[in-house]
Structure formats: C-alpha cells, structure tokens
Structure 1
Amino acid sequence: MAEAHQAVAFQFTVTPDGIDLHLCHEALRQVYLSGLHSWKKRFIRFKNGVMTGVYPGSPSGLLVVLVGYVSTTKYAKIDPSLGIFTKLSTHLPISKYVTEEGQRIVGGVLVGTGLWITVTFVMRNILKCLLSWHGWMFSRHGSLSLKTKIWLVLVKLFSGQKPMLYSFQSSLPRLPVPPVKDTVRRYLESARPLMDDEQYKRMEGLAKDFEKNLGPKLQWYLKLKSWWTSNYVSDWWEEYIYLRGRGPIMVNSNYYAMDFLFVIPTSIQAARAGNSIHALMMYRRKLDRAQIKPLMVLNTIPMCSSQYERMFNTSRTPGVEADVLQHVNESKHIAVFHKGRFYKVWMFYDGRLLLPREIEQQIERILMDKSEPQPGEEMLAALTAGDRVPWAKARTQFFSRGKNKQSLDAVEKAAFFVTLDDSEQRFDPDNPVQSLDSYGKSLLHGKCYDRWFDKSFNLIVFKNGTMGLNGEHSWADAPVIGHLWEHVLSSDPVRLGYSEDGHCKGNPHPNLPGPQRLQWDIPEECQTVIDSSLKVAQALADDVDMHIFPFNDFGKGLIKKCKTSPDGFIQLALQLAHFRDKGKFCLTYEASMTRLFREGRTETVRSCTIQTCDFVRAMMNGKATREEKLKLLRTAAEKHQDMYRLAMTGNGIDRHLFCLYLVSKYLGEDSAFLKEVLSEPWRLSTSQTPLQQAELFDLKRHPEYVTSGGGFGPVADDGYGVSYIILGEDFINFHISSKHSSPETDSHRFGNHIKQAMLEILELFQLDNKAKDK
C-alpha cells in the first residue's frame, strides 16, 4: 500500500551555528494551487448567487440599460431623472464637487438601475403568477387548448434566457394548503373500496366530525405556516418521516440504482471506478457552478431544484432522538472501502481534478494493498446499517476524539463513499432470475457492513466491473439521484470511454501521492455494539425477498397505441396482479412529485380507486364482455390520471393530513380520525423511475446501453414494494421486494402475476386485429 505523501513545507536542522531553515518548494506550490482553487470556487459561488438573485434579469441587461441612459444623458442633454437628482444634489455635500453634466450621468445611472430592478421584479412576479396556474395539466392527453398554448408562450416570454440550475427558485409558487373539506372528501372516496359498509359508515362519522370541529382549528395554524415558510410540508416531512426514524435505514429507507442491463463497458474494476468517479466529480463541478439545466416540464415549466444542494459532501449523523444532515460546502476527497479497510483518496492534485486514468491508478493501489483490517475496522460500517440509537451513543462515546474522530470525519465529510466490492454481479442471460435478484439485494444491503448507509450516496463497483448506487433518502428523492446517475452512465462508455485493453484513457501520474489508509482504535466495548448492529442488519437483509425482471413483450409504444397513459396502464396491471396474488384490494401508494412548487418533494397517489376495483372485478368475471372491460379500464385510467394531476398540483390527500396530524400533536389535541388514517398500512407501495434525460441515450442506435432503473425495500411487513422504469418504446423493467417472513407474499409469484396482467390488459385492445384490418 502506498501511504499518503507527507508534504512538509518547512524543514529545519539545529546546528552549532543556529537553525538551518529549508523550504520545500513542491509543498508551497501545492498550498498555492489549493488556495487558488478555493478562491475560484468562492468567486463562482458569488457570481452564481448574483446571477440567480437577479434572474430573469441579468447583469448584461443592466449594462445595456445603463449604457443607453448614460448615452442619452451625455449626447441628448436629457436628464432622465426629470431634475429630481439635481434638486436632491443641492442638499448633498458632494454637489459642489460634481459638475452639472456629472450629476445628469449619475442620475441616469440611478434611474437606469431603478428601471432595471423594477422590470426584473415585475417579470419575476408575473412569472410566479403564471406558474401558479396549473390548468394546463388537466388538458386531454396529447392535446393542448388555445388557453394553454397562450399561457406557455407567456411563460417562455417571462422566463428569461439561459437559466441556471437555481434561477427559477424565487419564481416558483408556494405549495397551497387544500381546504379541509376537499381533503376529507377525497380521503373518504379513496377509503370506500377498502371498507365494508359498517367500517365505512364509522369512518365517515369520524371524518365529518373532524371536518366540522377540530379540522378548521388545525387548518388555521397550517395556513399560517404556509404563509411564513417556503413549503408547509417539506421540513416536517424530512424530520418526522426520515430523520426521527429510530429503526435501520438500510432496506427500510435507502434505495438503489442499477448499471446497464446488458453490457459492462469494461471488466476491470479499477478502470470502471476511475471513469465513474471522474464523471461524478465532473457532475459536482457543474452543480457547484449551477451549470446543470433545471428540469422543465414540456421544455417550458420549471421544477424546483433545491434538493440538489445536498447531493455531495453530505452525511446523515445519528442522534438519540433524531438524526441530523451534516453538509460541508467543499470536500476534496472521497472515502473508499475495500476488504474491511477504509481509505481517504484526494481528488485534486496540481490544482486540478484527477483524470480518469489517475483515479484508476489510485484504485489500483488500494486493490493491491495486502494489509489486514485493524481490530473492529472490517465490520465498522454495520453501525450505519442497524438501529440508530446504538449508533448515536457509540459515535459519541468512541468517535468523538483522537484518531477515530479524524477518520470518521474523513468518511462523513467525503464527497461521497465508494465500495470496491469483492463479489461479481451482473445480468446473466442463462440465469436471469437468480442473477438479477442477487444483484438487486447486493445494491440494497450488500453484506450489511460494506456500505456506509449514512452517506448521501454510495458508489458500488463490483469485481467484474458492474456498478450501482445506494442512496440515502432523507436529503432528496430518487429522481434527483436518478438525474446524477443518468449523467454518469451516459458519460462512462461514450464520452470518457476506455482503451482497447479496458483501462481508462490516458496515462498514470508518475508523482501522484497514494491514498491514505484511515486509522482506527476501536475498543472491545465498541466492537460489541458493532456486532449487535450487524446481527440486526443481517436479520433484516436476509428477510428481503427481491425479484427483478425485464418485461420486453411490449412497452410504451404499444401502450400509447391503446390511447392510454403508460403509467395508468401499469398501475391497473399492478392492481389486477395484486388481487390475483392476495384475493383482495389494499391501500396503494404511488409516489408523485410536487416540484412544481418551491421546495416540493412528494405526494401520494392512492391508486386503488372505486373505478380500479370495478375494472379488476370485471377482469376476474368470466361473464364480462371485452367491451365492458375496456370501458371500465378507460374510466379507471382517466380517474388515475386525474388523481395524479391533483397530487402534482398540491391537492393531494396524504401530505395535508400528515401536517394536520402534526399540528394536532403540537396543540395536544387528539383526533381519532387522523390517528386512524395515519396508521393505515401501505401494503402495495409503487414508484416509477423516470428517465429524465432521454437525449443522453440513443436507444435506437445503442439499445444495449439501457439502464435497469432502481428499487427499494418493502414498506409493510406483509406487503410489496414495486418500482418500474419505462425505457424506450419496447421495454419496462420491474423491481419487486417483499419479506420472506410473511406467509402472504412472494415476490416471484407477484412478478408472474404482473406479467400475466400486462398481457391480459393489452389483449383487450386487440391491436393485432386492428393492424390486420388496416
């Protein structure tokens, strides 16, 4: 193992004649380059802050206005302030030192600046008003009304030119608080198919009582919060749903993202790590400079970008009662784990980011290291996989001083965490089921001690060159990590590429200092806590029943020919599959985002509706005709789309009820209605992984470069977690999770039901017959 280069700026020896002082010029050079890099970043942050703060105006626009006003003042002899500045200057002590022409110029500058500020302020507020209208979302699929087209033109007109990542933040509207009456009505509608008449009558009574008595009081406080804060949901959601959870975040909260499904660009582990780490650092550079384009719906309507802020240099710090997200503005290193040992790897040298081949060189040094783990070091990361309270207490007791604190800081303040996994994972066409299931489980939990689950994300590179991500959930939602991952996958084989022998392009650096092995002093008492956390984590991991399958019978191409939404089609298939699997309906969670609003995160679409249940019953009824089933399908799909639109536009059910419940707890009020609603289990939890940058992947020319999407663990002990990604026109990948310990669930059985349901629903449209008729 090549240990870290110890650069000493000053060397001295004591001689009879005094002290002989020497300077190490290389060390001073590195200090200079490091300082230069730091000041560059500060300047870029300052510049970005200015650009974002004045958007949709721009400094260049201000310059044009000022030049115009000064020219008018100087050559046309016109006072743009209409004499106001001249009158005011007579009362100022500087008036005697400034000529009349100078006063006119200064007046022109001030008036021009004021006009520019006014125009910018007006444009921003007009844009904010425009973005508060969401009628465009309720247009028929595939068509836009004249009103919507005019609205889109106005949004483009007031959106400015070349927006940066955070340019629209101050123009985004606040998340509205729905009326209690509407939320209660929508809740009762969603609960009706899951309750018998007696249960529903009881719940209806509780709901009406809440709506009339306690609800308005809680709503008043919630509206007050919505006026005072940027988003009335997000801070409470982050704290109470994520950071206050005391159980393991592994499996229960963290999620994963997969590599390409059919190809591995190189089988050399160090090379794959080299390109991927470099691509991640380049993305961070773009992020620091706000050069990433904000996501836009219909290429016009901006979405909130606030979740990107904590993507790098972030770690979840455990606490006894609640965790805290620790974020540092700058980190110049990454933390790497291999065979039970931790390393700190600097990402900069000579004042620049390391190139892919240089990063590969560093990874090679780690892989060649033959040293043994220190006592307690190998299983150390199991602390992040087990319960949070033991980890919080151990962190305070054993990692608050000395070398343990320094090493823990190196991990927690790293840009991100990298695991060089010594196992091999990939899709095997000869054994597709077992290979993908093993791959998914490895990304979700690994060995329970070879990922640092507290980091914002872990890059996992396997021995054969396959890779993936494990993401911590509290700081952001999966689409944000998905955006990063799309950049990495598109950069790796295409833009960066590999040499013919599979190594990163370029040459190793002859003088590059090696990685630094982190040092630990872990007492036996702490090792006991580590062992205990590992047992908890292993029991949780062993219980995960994972099944991943590529569905390539058809994709969104054929679904669109059915004139229905692909997401609605799949959600109906999941409901049909679940009814076949368990013989009953269940409360279903589908994640929807609310990023059309400032600091928006997610909302729930309750996919199990009255209309969906009617359709499923018809499919299970041998006497129902195809026309009847088709009619019910279209009604159910349209209802699903309406609910999705309501969720995205701030009129969902569950976030509002969640916040009302928290207010009731703060006030010391008990609500039987809210308590019962929030205790209902989500036995089917679903999420679509969106492909957000389709332009980065040419799936027609390179269909092999298709990602596998990602997944998450089961939400309920007796339920299923289902994630799916729609890729290209002919491919959908499903990720299913459940628990072996539940006698009611079986992920592979459920997967077969999904395949059957997808094919049965498609058959209703008789596309083959229509093609023959044509």
Structure 2
Amino acid sequence: MEMAKNRNIQNIIPLGAAGTGGRDRAAKFWEEMNKDKINQNSLEFVRSSIFVLCLDENNDNINNDLNQMEKDGMEILYGFGPKNNGINRWFDSTIQLIVSKNGCCGTCIEHSIAEGIVHIKMTEEAMRYANNNFDLINKQQNQNFENNLSIIEPKPLSWVVSEKANLLLEEQIVEFEKLTNDLQLNLLQFKEFGKIAIKGWGVSPDGFMQLCMQLAHFKLHGYLVNSYESATMRRFRFGRVDNIRAATPEALNWVKAMCNQNEGKNLNGNGIDNHLCALEVLSREEFGLENLPEIFRDEIWKEMIRFPLSTSQVSTSPEFINCYLYYGPVVNDGYGCAYNIQLNNLIFAISTWKSDKRTNGISFRLNLIESLKEMKELLEFNE
C-alpha cells in the first residue's frame, strides 16, 4: 500500500484500459507492446497470476440516483468508467477481486474460461472457508506477517509504451467512457416470495422466472421476444452451455410454459443452438461469408441467433444474501436480466443501453413486479 501511495503519478500508464474497448484494438495494442522484451516479461507475469486484486477508491458520491446495491454492482463491473475506478482493472484476467474503501467487494469475471455459476460456487467456497476459519486465519496471518515482514515486497511491473501503443490506449479509453456512460442498471429486490413459495405452488422456479420475464416484456412491448438462457452441459466432458428458448408457442399458455419439457431435452444435449452455431462457424471457415449455405443467409436465422432478452440464473447459497450477477445487454435494443432465486425473495439485475429508446429498464422493472404479483395470484387461486 505504501509503495502504491509513493509511486510517481506522472509516470503512471493506464494499461488497464487496454481491455476496455474493442477487442480488435486491444489485440493491436498488445501486438505492438509485445515487440519489447520488457513488456513480454511483465505481461507474462500478469497472465500467469491466479487472479488480479483491484483496490478502489470510494464510490459514495457517484450517481446518487442509485441505491447502494446498484452502485456496488456498477463499481464491481466497470468502476464507473475511466474517470473513476474503471481503469483500475485488468479485464482480460479470468478473476478480478474488487475491494473498495467503503467496503464494496465482489468479483469481476471473464466469461470464456467458465460459466458464471462455476465462479460463484468457487467464490462461495472461499467465503465459507474464510468465515468458518476466521480466527485461525487471522492468527496465522499475523504470525506470518511478523516473521516475513522483510521479504514481503510487491513487485512493480515495468512497461515500455510506444507512441502507437499510447494512441491505441487513448482510443480504448474514449470507447470505454462511451460504453460506461450508456449502460444502465435497474435492480429489483422482490421480497414478497421466493423459491420456497414457487415450489409450493408446484412449478419450476426457473420456469416461473422465465415466464415472468416474457410476461413483463409482453406487457411493455406487446410481443414475446427471442430470449437466451444458458443450459448447463457440464454433465458432458468439455461441456459448456446450450440455450433454453422460453419464447415458444407454449409460452402463451401459462401452465405449459411453466412445465416446458424442452428444457430437459436441451440439458440432455438435444438443443439446436450449439449444433447449428457450430455448423455456421465451420461454413464460414470453409466457404467464406459470401458463399454460406442458404440457411445461414436467411433472415429467420439471423433473427434466431439475436437475443433481445439475455437472461441467466446464477443463484447463490442461502447463507449468501443480497448477491447478484450483472452484465450488459447483448444487442442495442435488448435487456440483460440476470436473476438470483433465493429462498424467500428474488433478485433481478436489469440492464439496458440508455441511448436506445426502444428499451426502458425502469418500465421493465415495474412490469416485472406486476407480473410476479399476477402470477402469484393465479397460482394461489388454482391451489
């Protein structure tokens, strides 16, 4: 900490910004940086680390229109942009531990290595171990610190940044600021019921949540929407995810939608998304974009792989309350909606792009509340 305080502010290069904008530009930046041996060594040091620890300044006075849980989510995801804590990140790292002076803490994960639920379960195990062994860990840390004080010395990394690399870095920062200013989070903590009540009504909690989001979207926009929900394929070797499609004809029928049998088929490896997407990728490599098979040039296919409603259930264990996952929409006119099904309450993290007037996170949140209450009334009436 003392080393960080005493660093030469004028000599700081915001390398954390390299991964904040476009991926092509990030690749060009590191291609330029890797021309220097010093940069190669420093980058390898970062890449070989288990995780990155980000120590943030307070966010208390930023965007007072948000409640504290919303502030914490935005702080952990992107640090409120490059003018605040946003470039105190290394977004290419699989795991970033974010800790702010005001007590805000969480993890920011890079998705390509593993699904969110894998990170969540790992984090829960670490927290559970720390909670159960707090006194012992604290005692051991104090002893080790006193015994090894002279050899505890963080290593500052050296970088040589060319003019070309610096220009790319500046372009990334401009794009990062534009993105962070545009992203909106609306958090819903629904406390009237949760998993226990939903199961008591005899329906699948996840099916209930998916139908609720479809109903909220229908109320707001007047139509069902193509949606994405990850279906874990971890029962298979090297399995990752497929897609559960909630926008089916059956979704218009309450009971059928809540008991949708297609989910089981996808979980068993019989979904269509992975198969067709793999065929498209292979076709692109074999034939090029101009000579793709007709199915992959059809407008229906293009719309089929476009997800205006991107959802994900990442539920935490009962002892970890008020936790949620947060990510942005995957299309301009879409919603991101991660949700946590807890025993007696539900959490939705709704994201939208402010610049696209076709979506409205505040209205979607209100329609979610209305839909939850209406579905509760319907199910209780049928008991």
1:593, distance to aligned residue in structure 2 (A): 0.8
The 1:481–1:667 alpha-carbon spacing in structure 2 relative to 1, beyond 3 Å, is same
Preserved contact between residue 22 and residue 172 of structure 2 (Cα < 8 Å): yes
Q: Deviations over 1:618-668 (max 9, x none)?
A: xxxxxxxxxxxxxxx2222122xx111111101101111112223333442
Alignment of 1:440-451 (within 5 A): 440-446=73-79, 447=81, 448-451=86-89
Could you tell which deviates more after superposition, 434-443 or 580-589? 434-443
Q: What residue in structure 2 maps to residue 130 of structure 1?
A: none
Correspondence 1:763 to 2:377: yes
The TM-score normalised by the length of structure 2 is 0.88
1:414, distance to aligned residue in structure 2 (A): 1.5
Q: What residue in structure 2 maps to residue 31 of structure 1?
A: none
Q: What residue in structure 2 maps to residue 398 of structure 1?
A: 33
- Overall identity of the aligned pairs, in %: 28
Q: What residue in structure 1 maps to residue 97 of structure 2?
A: 459
Which of 467, 474, 487 is matched with 2:125 structurally? 487
The 1:497–1:606 alpha-carbon spacing in structure 2 relative to 1, beyond 3 Å, is farther
Preserved contact between residue 183 and residue 354 of structure 2 (Cα < 8 Å): yes
Correspondence 1:550 to 2:189: yes
1:366, distance to aligned residue in structure 2 (A): 4.7
Any gaps of 5 or more consecutive residues in structure 2?
none
SS in 2 for 1:581: helix
1:399, distance to aligned residue in structure 2 (A): 3.5
Aligned residues: 367
Any gaps of 5 or more consecutive residues in structure 1?
1-363, 616-632, 700-704
1:391 partner letter: A
Preserved contact between residue 228 and residue 311 of structure 2 (Cα < 8 Å): yes
2:31 partner letter: T
Q: What residue in structure 1 maps to residue 179 of structure 2?
A: 540
Which of 577, 597, 602 is matched with 2:241 structurally? 602
SS in 2 for 1:536: helix
Structure 1 CA distance for aligned equivalents of residues 308 and 112 of structure 2: 22
1:440 partner letter: G
Preserved contact between residue 417 and residue 459 of structure 1 (Cα < 8 Å): yes
SS in 1 for 2:67: helix
Correspondence 1:723 to 2:338: yes
Preserved contact between residue 54 and residue 88 of structure 2 (Cα < 8 Å): yes
Which of 207, 212, 227 is matched with 1:573 structurally? 212
Structure 1 CA distance for aligned equivalents of residues 353 and 283 of structure 2: 34
Alignment of 1:270-309 (within 5 A): none
Structure 2 CA distance for aligned equivalents of residues 398 and 462 of structure 1: 30
1:423, distance to aligned residue in structure 2 (A): 2.1
Q: What residue in structure 2 maps to residue 679 of structure 1?
A: 302
Q: What residue in structure 2 maps to residue 661 of structure 1?
A: 280
Which of 469, 473, 486 is matched with 2:107 structurally? 469
CA RMSD of aligned residues (A): 2.6
Could you tell which deviates more after superposition, 533-542 or 384-393? 384-393
Correspondence 1:644 to 2:263: yes
Preserved contact between residue 312 and residue 338 of structure 2 (Cα < 8 Å): yes
SS in 1 for 2:295: helix
Preserved contact between residue 184 and residue 353 of structure 2 (Cα < 8 Å): yes
The 1:655–1:504 alpha-carbon spacing in structure 2 relative to 1, beyond 3 Å, is same
Structure 2 CA distance for aligned equivalents of residues 454 and 574 of structure 1: 31
Structure 1 CA distance for aligned equivalents of residues 135 and 75 of structure 2: 26
SS in 1 for 2:187: strand
Alignment of 1:212-361 (within 5 A): none
Q: What residue in structure 2 maps to residue 301 of structure 1?
A: none
Preserved contact between residue 381 and residue 449 of structure 1 (Cα < 8 Å): yes
Alignment of 1:83-102 (within 5 A): none
The 1:661–1:634 alpha-carbon spacing in structure 2 relative to 1, beyond 3 Å, is same
Preserved contact between residue 686 and residue 721 of structure 1 (Cα < 8 Å): yes
2:265 partner letter: L
Q: What residue in structure 2 maps to residue 738 of structure 1?
A: 352
The 1:400–1:492 alpha-carbon spacing in structure 2 relative to 1, beyond 3 Å, is farther
SS in 2 for 1:679: helix
The 1:418–1:503 alpha-carbon spacing in structure 2 relative to 1, beyond 3 Å, is farther
